[in-house]
A and B are shown apart, each in its own frame.
Chain A
Amino acid sequence: MLQPDFVQLQSEGRDLVKSCDEKCPPEGEEGNPFNFTPQLIRVHKDHELFEDGDIQRHLYLQDLYISETEDKPALSLSEFACHISGCSAVFSTLEEYEHHYNSLHRHVCCSCRRSLPSARLLDIHIQEWHDSLFTILAQRQDMYQCLVEGCGQKFRTSQHRKEHLIRTHKYPPDFRFDKPKKDKGEKKRQQQTDTAMEVADSVCESEGVCEVMCDVPPDQPESMETRVFEGEAAHTAESEGHTDLSATGHSTENTNSEAVKPRYSYRVPANVCFGHGSVRGFRGRRGGRGK
């Protein structure tokens, strides 16, 4: 008779299935790491899984059992966590997670790791900042594209474009056009909160600068920039993860994820980048662009 495999649960264990390096089949053919096999799980009487039921049993024995469930805690919903290495943001709904991810991690320049709100702006950013050919051509022709989609106009300098955006497209003049990249070391949040963010409204926001507009080369430190969202309450948190991803060949550094209420999309035209980004820089390296 075939003995069924089973996993014997440790009575003190919290986990139901032992992290089964001994029991599970090891990574097999060509290093296939997928080794799920169905398992029969046996639970010892002292295991944590049985705690609540045991308590009810003993309350009953002691004549204290009430079958109405008044103050029983309902099962909580699972949380979502940002997967980007170094980003420790946690969210209670999938929507919040998606919003965070799309704002901060999706369109990331792999050269300078800034996160841009759209693919188009990322392209423009890369072109204007990291393309030496652009610099050469810009000396002779109008290369700076208007950021507003569909406008199509091009300008000789960044300044001209800025004026165009203000005049024609009604961008606010105090918009962060020329704020350069800030010196990270000096920038401190008003409220330093714990890096492990658990509150639902802590959403990562890149609190950076409009680098697309900046005509200062990325490496030069400049003056401190002012915060965009004046008057907006902000629960800001800073998490800096320095994770080495040398395994994948990407150089990765900090992900400054700060938490602010995500209202920028109402106050600021959507097609302006917001600087500081995170790790994922696939543009220009692999995937997505046919390289």
Chain B
Amino acid sequence: MWRLDRVRHKAGRHVSHLDELRSKRREHERELRQARRDNQLVSRRLLLSEDEDQLEITMDTDLGEQDVVSLFHKLQHNGPEREIHLKALSKALRDPPAQLIFIKQENSMHLLVGFLTGSNASCRLQAVRCLHELSHSPHTNIAPACLPATPYLLTYLSGQSTKFTELCLYTLGNLCPESDVVKEKLLAQGIIPALANCMENQKHNFAVVEAAGFTLSQLLQDRDAVVKIIPQILASSLPSHLLSVLTPDPNFGLAPAIECAWCLHYLTCGMENNRVLLSYGALSKCSSLLVSVGGAVSERKKEDGLELLICPLLRCVGNLLSSCSVEDLSSQIADARIVVTLFELLQAHVQTQPALARESAWVLNNLTAHSSAFCSSLLTLNLVPGLIQLLSFSQGLNTMILRVLANIAHKKKEFCVQLAHLKLLSALYATLKMADQDIVTLSMDVLFMLVVSDSQVAEEFVRHDGLSLLQALQYKSEGKIRRRATYLLENHLQSYTS
């Protein structure tokens, strides 16, 4: 089971560890970004046993190589100390070069599978440990070598032993993204029904649910998931299990919810039409949970790692909204406080995690695009001034927020008047002068809606030297802006120009 506090706790002990951790993290972050751009972002998890911790393991590489071969030979004799040897082997296999050496030994996998399926339970456990270490290997040729074990791993998913099941799951999850061959085999061997059963039978076991969620998320990140994997998943009981985990039950713990939320994110992104998920009440569940965790953020009571859950929830809500018609919206979104939550998430993260703020703004756009009711609630809940303040930020945030405001203005003239009253016009004087062409164009669109809504708005605009601003914009080399400025001057403000 993943515990964020473990990392923090260890890091806290030694200051140098903390710095080391940070610079290692920065370096890793760079690598991950590049991997994502290359469409090769893949992670594996290593489940440590309770008596270990990652930072204090000494990599005794000298011992590794010889150890593996000699252990292998000892194990082949199947003597009474095989359990001890297996345990030693699992430790030795932590080392990547040792992993390669082991795989190259003839019949090494056969041996492991033998122990995995044998009658000795503790040998089974150690054997699966060895496989788990192998699955975590950075070498690409290890995963296919583990294929002989996978049908058994899948069978054991219906077992009752927590630690054992966890190890099986994480091992499978690590193997999934490795190669197409492995994936095809796993799918053919029935990994999806096995996962569904596992989640069904172990739904009260948080550690197992988390592990199953992880494994499923690994499958779902495949680039061909839409065709090969998602239909099968949607046809199974997995969606309802995933959703049942998304409960604000404080006992349940963050980690399983995080995994399941990411699975749902990959599912909602994948399909163009999310009818199936909507019929399961996915939008309702995700938005309700978002409201309750979002509340914790704004009250500053949030536990560490809450953003890891908020992020996929936001994305689910965002993409599900794009599949939801306006008529169904009120039944799908149970909690209308979602508007407030999104706004608070926006504000809370604009300085600390701007990407999350951007995603929140995106969801707000989808919420307000076709719904008069939500647009109205933004006004009545007095959230608009706060949105207007955020128009000064760049990197796409102000554009998205202006879209939201434009959505409101687009609904009816009364809203335009209210927006003007809330000083949106003043904000536009600034946004119309920004460097980013998109925001200028959008600002013109909003200005148009405001000006045609009410002559008083037009007058105020002119009073604040709006005409000369528009005239200046007419000289803009960018055609869209130029045309808009001209049209506005000639058709709606002509009585003010002399």
Q: Is the CB of B397 within 8 A of A75?
A: yes
Which residues of B from 477 to 491 have beta carbons under 8 Å from A? 477, 480, 482-484, 487, 491
Q: How far is the CA of A45 from the CA of B327 in the complex (A)?
A: 27
Whether A36 contacts B442 in the complex (CB less than 8 A), given A42-B322, A84-B475, comes out as yes
Q: Is the CB of B400 within 8 A of A6?
A: no
Q: Is the CB of A83 within 8 A of B498?
A: no
Q: Is the CB of A287 within 8 A of B325?
A: no
Q: Is the CB of B394 within 8 A of A37?
A: no
Chain B residue numbers with a CB within 8 Å of A83 are: 433, 472-473, 475-476
A133 at the interface (CB under 8 A from B): no
Q: Is the CB of B475 within 8 A of A51?
A: no
Q: Is the CB of A33 within 8 A of B270?
A: no
B457 at the interface (CB under 8 A from A): no
Q: Is the CB of B472 within 8 A of A43?
A: no
Chain A residue numbers with a CB within 8 Å of B394 are: 75-79
Contact with B along A65-77 (1 / 0, CB 8 A): 1110111111111
Q: Is the CB of A4 within 8 A of B322?
A: yes
Q: Is the CB of B436 within 8 A of A78?
A: yes
Chain B residue numbers with a CB within 8 Å of A59 are: 25, 28-29, 32
Q: Is the CB of B325 within 8 A of A43?
A: no
Which residues of B from 316 to 351 have beta carbons under 8 Å from A? 318-319, 321-327, 350-351
**A159 vs chain B, min Cβ distance (A):** 36
Q: Which of A3, A33, A66 has the most CB of B within 10 A?
A: A33
Q: Is the CB of A57 within 8 A of B472?
A: no
Whether A67 contacts B304 in the complex (CB less than 8 A), given A248-B474, A289-B498, comes out as yes
**B222 vs chain A, min Cβ distance (A):** 11
Whether A34 contacts B445 in the complex (CB less than 8 A), given A8-B272, A74-B354, A78-B435, comes out as yes
Q: Is the CB of B41 within 8 A of A45?
A: no
The answer, among A2, A69, A78, A282, for a CB contact under 8 Å with B471, is A282
**B396 and chain A: residue at smallest CB distance:** A16
**B275 and chain A: residue at smallest CB distance:** A1
Contact with B along A29-60 (1 / 0, CB 8 A): 01111111111111111100111111111111
Q: Is the CB of B36 within 8 A of A55?
A: yes
Chain A residue numbers with a CB within 8 Å of B2 are: 60
**A87 vs chain B, min Cβ distance (A):** 9
Of the candidate stretches B93-101, B236-244, B359-367, B377-385, the one touching chain A is B359-367
A224 at the interface (CB under 8 A from B): no
**A44 vs chain B, min Cβ distance (A):** 6
Q: How far is the CA of A77 from the CA of B391 in the complex (A)?
A: 9
Q: Is the CB of B22 within 8 A of A52?
A: no
Whether A97 contacts B272 in the complex (CB less than 8 A), given A65-B305, A85-B477, comes out as no
Chain B residue numbers with a CB within 8 Å of A45 are: 221, 265-266, 269-270
**A75 and chain B: residue at smallest CB distance:** B354
Chain B residue numbers with a CB within 8 Å of A85 are: 475-477
Q: Is the CB of B365 within 8 A of A69?
A: no
The answer, among B36, B400, B472, B474, for a CB contact under 8 Å with A16, is B400
Q: Is the CB of B326 within 8 A of A4?
A: yes
Contact with A along B135-178 (1 / 0, CB 8 A): 00000000000000000000000000000000000000000000
B45 at the interface (CB under 8 A from A): yes
**B448 vs chain A, min Cβ distance (A):** 5
Chain A residue numbers with a CB within 8 Å of B322 are: 4, 6, 40-42
Contact with A along B437-480 (1 / 0, CB 8 A): 01100101110110000000000000000011001111111001
B262 at the interface (CB under 8 A from A): yes
Chain A residue numbers with a CB within 8 Å of B324 are: 4
Q: How far is the CA of A2 from the CA of B190 in the complex (A)?
A: 38
**B366 and chain A: residue at smallest CB distance:** A40
B54 at the interface (CB under 8 A from A): yes
Chain A residue numbers with a CB within 8 Å of B444 are: 34
Q: Is the CB of A40 within 8 A of B436?
A: no
**A53 vs chain B, min Cβ distance (A):** 4
**B304 and chain A: residue at smallest CB distance:** A67
Whether A38 contacts B369 in the complex (CB less than 8 A), given A49-B362, A75-B394, comes out as yes
Chain B residue numbers with a CB within 8 Å of A56 are: 307-308, 311
Q: How far is the CA of A185 from the CA of B270 in the complex (A)?
A: 60
B423 at the interface (CB under 8 A from A): no
**B488 and chain A: residue at smallest CB distance:** A34
**B370 vs chain A, min Cβ distance (A):** 6
Q: Is the CB of A41 within 8 A of B307?
A: no
A200 at the interface (CB under 8 A from B): no
Q: How far is the CA of A56 from the CA of B306 in the complex (A)?
A: 12
B355 at the interface (CB under 8 A from A): yes
Q: How far is the CA of A45 from the CA of B21 in the complex (A)?
A: 29
Instruction: Return the 8 tightest CB-CB contacts between A and B, nearest first.
Output: A52-B355, A81-B435, A75-B354, A78-B394, A36-B445, A61-B43, A45-B269, A38-B369
Q: List 8 A-B contacts (CB under 8 A).
A: A41-B362, A51-B33, A55-B32, A58-B32, A65-B305, A75-B351, A78-B398, A83-B472
Q: 8 extra interchain contacts, Cβ-Cβ under 8 A, other than A33-B484, A49-B359, A81-B433?
A: A1-B325, A2-B325, A34-B449, A50-B315, A65-B7, A70-B22, A75-B397, A78-B436
What is B's interface to A at a CB cutoff of 8 Å? 2, 4, 7-8, 11, 21-22, 24-26, 28-29, 32-33, 36, 39, 41, 43-46, 54, 214, 221, 258, 262, 265-266, 269-270, 272, 304-305, 307-308, 311-312, 315, 318-319, 321-327, 350-359, 362, 365-366, 368-370, 392-400, 403, 406-407, 410, 430-431, 433-436, 438-439, 442, 444-446, 448-449, 467-468, 471-477, 480, 482-484, 487, 491, 497-498
